[in-house]
Amino acid sequence: MATLAAIMSISATPVLAAVCMDKSMTQDEIVDTINAQRSCDGAMKVFRVCEFGASGHVLLGAAVEKKCEADFLSGLKGAPKRAYQHKMQVCDRKYRNQSGTMYISFTAFCRAEVAQRYSHKALNAGPKAR
């Protein structure tokens, strides 16, 4: 009987899904899709198209940051690295005194956009910048 109760409680937990690229996808599937993109821009496009709801944006935005940072973070040293970190902190502080989940979403998009801009700069500068 305890096993049945455990199964019932697990199956009663709703799995959140979003319509993304004409398919119903879970948050994990969207993250996998972001990770599978060949470029930072592709990852950002999936992030914009597959919005998951404010709290879900944190995880999706983090996946975009990671994808974009692969283009530049290892080559970022000293002052440029501190500038990048500062811009990310600006995103974190921008909405911190606001209430509501939409501000969590705004922060996630801000951070992803900063990472995307740095990716563009590094790719335009060529291999030496990475």
* Average pLDDT, consecutive stretches of 10 residues, N- to C-terminus, the chain (130 residues): 39 54 85 96 94 80 98 96 98 92 92 98 78
Alpha-carbon gap, residue 106 to 109, rounded angstroms: 5
* H-helix or E-strand spanning residue 17: strand 17-20
pLDDT at 129: 54
CA distances 18 to 4, 35, 50, 87, Å, are 29, 17, 7, 30
Domain ranges of the chain: 2-129
Q: How far is CA 44 from the centre of its chain?
A: 8
